[in-house]
Structure 1
Amino acid sequence: MGKKPEFDPKSADSILEFAQKLKNKTLRQACESEIEKHGYKGKGNFGQILEKFYFGYSPNSDTEPDFIEAGLELKSSPLKLLKKGQIRSKERLVLNIINYLEVHKESFETSSFWKKNAHLLLVFYLHEVDADLLDYTILLVGNWRYPDQDLKIIKRDWETINQKIKDGIAHELSEGDTFYLGACTKGSTAAKSLRNQPFNKEKAKQRAYSLKQGYLNHIIANIADVKQGAYGKIITAPEILDKADTIENIVISKFQLHYGKSADQIVNELGLKVNKNAKSYFANLTNAILGIELDRKIEEFEKADIQVKTVRLKENDLPKENISFPTFKYTELVELDWEDCAFKNILESKFFFVFYQFDNDKLILRRVRFWNMPYSDILEAKEVWDKMKDTISKGEIVKEVTAKGKRMTFFPKKSENRISHVRPHAKDAKDTYTLPLADKLTGLTEYTKHCFWLNANYVKDEIYLG
């Protein structure tokens, strides 16, 4: 039996007022004693327990909001605590499952997504690794309606997802296709998580609408009423989106004004005072071109989890360097499945590339491009991840140690894969991560930090010239 409701189920204000009583409490403290016998198992059980034992109802169908009469959808989501005491979302916020067979018949305004998620009641709790979920502390409670500007972008995101389904390529959906509203995988990689799609016999992975992690952090900051740091906006008024097709067009048009100019020339024309040798030089240049103050984060890019990459090209169009991603921990690599790993999440991101090309001693702005990796290429890059996981799992890391003491590894090389490879990404050889299994040849229990890289040739052929 659930807890007897202490709110008016027809009133969003009443439900929110009741929900606010959860702040700074745990589920064990907020709910009746029978919660100990909740019996729920699985990733989403915090929310199920919250629904049944605090709000007193059983989960309903996917097509209606949880509080139908109030038009309010309840969602709970974990937070993580940063070193400086700030809170951030631990993951994206998963919403309702995408019904491929029905959604292509809908418009945004009549869609199951909008019907269910137009008004959200959000409960954020601090995730603690070793704690029972009944003892997670609920830190934030609030409601969320999408501001006009965000809603225009989310509507376009929904239409982008829907168009892929209409085109018979639901199996090629990627979170990199969109800005704030994603289509994340939902369920395991097994055949049971595959679904029929209406315009192609090929089955597609089950996916759900989701708010991207960056967008969720924006919501958290608003509910907590804390400053998120210094942000600048590309789109200063919602009506700007009515005059242009997309954020992409707005951004690209600003950069096109400077194509063919050297970085120094752009700096002078914009009247910038920047240190040419500073790491932030190109980031500041990007901000200035977009009309955003230096050293400020770009709000729309942060909300969309966009990966900004500045690439310097040699005269033959080949990038001067391969593109690195964050280092991975060897222990996490062997524990995680492909669907949950950081490398897949990065490859499914939306990227913004800014290309400068060397011309003698000058760097010339050539082009910019929003890009996300095609589905077939993600599968090809997965082969590198698979090999890396297999190598670490077997403890077969070092192939040989040369006469000069250099360690040669079994890690995937650039020559083995068109898209990606693995190389060191550390201060020095002593900058290491723990191995889950000692290396068979050397007995080492730690190894120099490595990361996945995008091959320079791939960047040239598929992104710059593609």
Structure 2
Amino acid sequence: MGCDPVYEGNHSFTRAELDEIFTHATGKTLGEVDSAHVFSKTLTNPKITGIAGDVVEQSLLRYPPDSKQAPDLNVDGTPTELKVTGLKRTKKKGDTFHAKEPMSITAVQPDKISSQTFETSPFWHKVSQMLIVYYLYDSATTVQAADYADFVILGYQFHRFDEDELRDLRKDWQLVHDFLTDINENSENPEAEYPRLSSELRSKLNMIDTAPKYPHPPRFRLKRSVVDTMYQKYLGTEFTILPNDVNDLESLDKLCDHLTARYSGKTTLELMEEFGIPLNSTGKLPKNVHEQITTAMLGSPKSKLNSLELFARTGLIAKTIPLLANGLPKEDTKFYHIDFSDFTQESIDDTDTDETIISRAYTFSDSELYAYLHEQSFFFTLFQFTDPKQRKEDGTSVFRGFRRITIPDEDIEKYGEKLWNHTRTLIMTDSLEDVPTGTRKKTSGDSTAPNFMKSSQNPLFIRGSAANSDDSAKTEEVNGIRMIPQYFWMKKQYIQQLISSSSPR
């Protein structure tokens, strides 16, 4: 199929030319490759936006920035979109990275999308082939534009989505198209209805979202989890593909409905026997026995849910939730390790409707916490104790099914934004304190903890987690206060509420 001249690409290169340019640039800092002296602009404008992309365009590729909806490049006759993407260090051991933010693609254009097909859409022409340049945003705090000069270019890739990914992208785009077309054709005031877009579709979208929230013009973005998966595949990470065409959220839901109907009520020991899961070397239940049962049910040969490509790509957060006999989760649930730079960032690069890069204030809807709650869904495997006095797994707990849960928008705004604003205020106004919490259980002395929001104040909260709370475990520091690693948690009563209000899978 020939390319529409509108989308043929603005600047022509051969693949060999680009390979030579970016192979030579890999391992160097943005400052070292800045032959066009782009960073000189930061002397008079320290908060200039899009500096990393400007360096790649103007110093490495030697063309001025433009704001056309066409892909940036024409590579051997193929339109190719250039994306310069920041990665940050994870809190995990080793040199591992994750996407700094979702990848913004192009404007949604709610008033124009009805006349488009997927193949003719600006979105498809932007993502059909991309040249992605990765750099390391090597700072735990927000930096000014000049500091980007120290950030290293990690590598590059020419990226095309595989067949499963392409099918999901097409399905996601079509959902947005049909939703907006229905509004355009049936609403007396379509613009008043457009803000429904993000909240009403997000539980159905596999790989994209639409952001930011109104009144800002919405844009198609690849979810942060998608960018993470793209980078991991670039590094050579091999993910496990589920069998039987279980390759999107809809097919996963159908499989889980079937598995729940088949296995609900069976005990842990019965399911271990069913799937050939042995006791450990000491004759006890494996520590991750419920995760092993879950992956075996799904048909995976691997015992880790995070090795499943579908979970990684769609951002499914998998947790086993042990329930007491009365239905209350046994304990509060820990999720991710907090990156406190998320609470101190003041501005963010964005793109206006005409594709011009602008700077605007950083808000809760831009934050890592918002993305975690809004972009992703939670996959809970439920096992329940039958004895009211039971608190420890002995193989007799029974399988109660699965829940795939999307946090309601109103909860994100009510509880998530409350937590983010409270934490941001503590840090930005220097109100963070280390307060006594009692006597240490495992070591001598008094225990202390930062005055972050607690479970008694909000169902979403921050709490430390470590083997002990003595000084040697306090490996993090915020505003001069040393603390044990801090995590995002959900209160057990809130987890129960989510389970009760969701459909069994």
Q: Identify whether the pair has TM-score above 0.5, normalized to the shorter chain.
A: yes
Distance in 1 (alpha carbons) for counterparts of 2:456 and 2:10: 65
The sequence identity of aligned pairs, in percent, is: 21
1:159-308 to structure 2, matched below 5 A, reads 159-162=174-177, 165=180, 168=193, 169-170=196-197, 172=199, 178-185=205-212, 203-224=214-235, 226=236, 228=237, 231-235=239-243, 245-275=250-280, 277-296=285-304, 297-308=307-318
| TM-fit CA distance, 1:460 | 1.7
Flag the 1:408–1:434 CA change in 2: closer, same or farther, 3 A.
closer
Determine the C-alpha separation between the residues in 1 that align with 2:215 and 2:327: 37
How many residue pairs match? The answer is 430
Is the alpha carbon distance of 1:174 and 1:390 closer, same or farther for their aligned partners in structure 2, counting shifts above 3 Å? farther
Relative to structure 1, the CA distance from residue 78 to residue 274 in structure 2 (aligned partners, 3 Å threshold; closer, same or farther) is farther
- Alpha-carbon deviation of 1:120? 0.6
Partner of 1:124: 134
Cα 1:34–1:390 shift into 2, 3 Å? closer
Residue 366 (1) aligns with residue 400 (2): yes
Aligned with 2:63: secondary structure? coil
What's the TM-score once normalised by structure 1's chain length? Answer: 0.77
Question: Hey, what's the Cα distance between the residues in 1 that align with 2:333 and 2:215?
Answer: 30
2:72 is the counterpart of 1:66 = yes
Residue 310 of structure 1: how far off its partner (Å) = 0.9
CA deviation string 1:134-161 (max 9, x = no partner): 4544332221111111111222232344
Tell me the CA shift for residue 10 of structure 1: 5.1
Aligned to 1:76: 84
8 Å CA contact retained: 1:23, 1:141:
no
Show the counterpart of 1:324: 334
Q: Does 2:376 align with 1:376?
A: no
Q: Greater CA deviation, 107-116 or 13-22? A: 13-22
Task: Name the aligned partner's letter for residue 219 of structure 2.
Answer: A
Question: 2-side partners of 1:50 and 1:34: how far apart?
Answer: 11
1:456 equivalent among 467, 474, 492: 492
Q: 1:13 aligns with which of 15, 22, 25?
A: 15
| Alpha carbons 1:331, 1:436 under 8 Å: kept | no
Query: C-alpha displacement at 1:369, in angstroms?
Result: 1.9
One-letter amino acid of the structure 1 residue matched with residue 385 of structure 2: F
What is the letter of the counterpart of residue 48 of structure 1? D
Q: Give 1:345's aligned amino acid.
A: A
**Per-residue deviation, 1:380:** 0.9
In structure 2, relative to structure 1, the CA distance for the partners of 1:414 and 1:28 (3 Å cut) is closer
Offset of residue 59 of structure 1? 3.1
Q: Does residue 143 of the first structure (1) align with residue 127 of the second (2)?
A: no
Are the counterparts in 2 of residues 16 and 121 from structure 1 also a CA contact under 8 Å?
A: no
Q: Which residue of 2 aligns with 1:198?
A: none
Give the whole-Å Cα distance in 2 for the aligned partners of 1:205 and 1:274: 55
Which residue of the partner structure matches residue 428 of structure 1? 468
- The equivalent position to 1:158 in structure 2, one of 173, 185, 191, is 173
Q: Which moved more, 1:207-216 or 1:150-159?
A: 207-216
Gap runs ≥5 in structure 1 = 1-6, 186-193, 195-202, 438-444
Q: Return the alpha-carbon distance in structure 2 between the equivalents of residues 270 and 387 of structure 1.
A: 46
User: Which range moved further: 89-98 or 364-373?
Assistant: 89-98
Question: Contact 2:36/2:59 (CA < 8 Å) preserved in 1?
Answer: no
Structure 1 CA distance for aligned equivalents of residues 434 and 59 of structure 2: 53
Which amino acid is the alignment partner of residue 370 of structure 1? Answer: R
2:383 and 2:399 in contact (8 A); partners too: yes
- Residue number in structure 1 paired with 2:372: 346
The answer as to 2:129 corresponding to 1:94 is no
Taking only aligned residues, the RMSD between alpha carbons, in angstroms, comes to 3.7
Q: SS at 1:368's partner residue?
A: strand
Q: Per the alignment, do residues 75 and 412 of structure 1 end up closer, same or farther by CA in structure 2, a change over 3 Å counting?
A: closer
CA–CA distance in structure 1, aligned partners of residues 449 and 11 of structure 2: 65
- 1:370-409 correspondence runs (5 A): 370-381=404-415, 382-391=417-426, 393-395=429-431, 397=433
**How far apart are 1:376 and its partner, in Å?**
0.8
Amino acid at match of 2:425: D
Q: Distance in 1 between matches of 2:272 and 2:103?
A: 40
CA distance in 2, matches of 1:20, 1:347: 36
What SS does the corresponding residue of 1:110 show, helix, strand or coil?
Answer: coil
Contact kept, 8 Å, 1:261 with 1:365, in 2: the verdict is yes
Q: For 2:15, what is the secondary structure of its paired residue? A: helix
Q: Partner amino acid for 1:368?
A: F
Q: How far does the alpha carbon of each residue in 1:179-225 deviate from its partner, in whole angstroms, 9 at most, with x for none?
A: 3223343xxxxxxxx6xxxxxxxx4444432333443343334444x
Bigger drift between 380-389 and 23-32 goes to 23-32
Report the residue type matching 2:317 in the other structure.
Q
Residues 177 and 60 of structure 1: CA distance in aligned 2, closer, same or farther (over 3 Å): farther
Q: Secondary structure at the match of 2:382?
A: strand
Q: Displacement of 1:390 after TM fit?
A: 3.3
What do the CA deviations read for 1:285-344 (whole angstroms, capped 9, x no partner)?
111111111334112111222210111112222111122223436676456753454332
Aligned position for 2:355: none
Match of 2:397, SS? Answer: strand
CA contact (8 A) 2:434 2:448 kept: yes
Q: Which amino acid aligns with 2:369?
A: F
Return 5+ residue gaps in structure 2 as ranges. 1-8, 184-192, 347-362, 388-393, 441-445
- TM-fit CA distance, 1:423: 4.1
1:309 matched to 2:319: yes
Instruction: Render the CA deviation track for 1:57-114: whole Å, top value 9, x for unaligned.
Output: 3333352111266311111112446754455544433222333333355332332211
Q: Structure 2: how far apart are the matches of 1:134 and 1:329?
A: 22
Work out the CA distance in 1 between the residues paired with 2:402 and 2:436: 42
SS of corresponding position for 2:276: coil
Per mean C-alpha deviation after superposition, the further-off stretch among 163-172 and 149-158 is 163-172
TM-score when normalising by structure 2:
0.72
Structure 1 217/461 Cα, relative in aligned 2: closer, same or farther at 3 Å?
closer
Q: Secondary structure at the match of 1:170?
A: helix
Most deviating of 65-74 and 322-331: 322-331
> In 1, are the aligned partners of 2:86 and 2:136 still within 8 Å (CA)?
yes
User: Structure 1 residues 79 and 287 mapped into 2: Cα distance closer, same or farther (>3 Å)?
Assistant: same
The alignment partner of 2:105 has SS state of strand
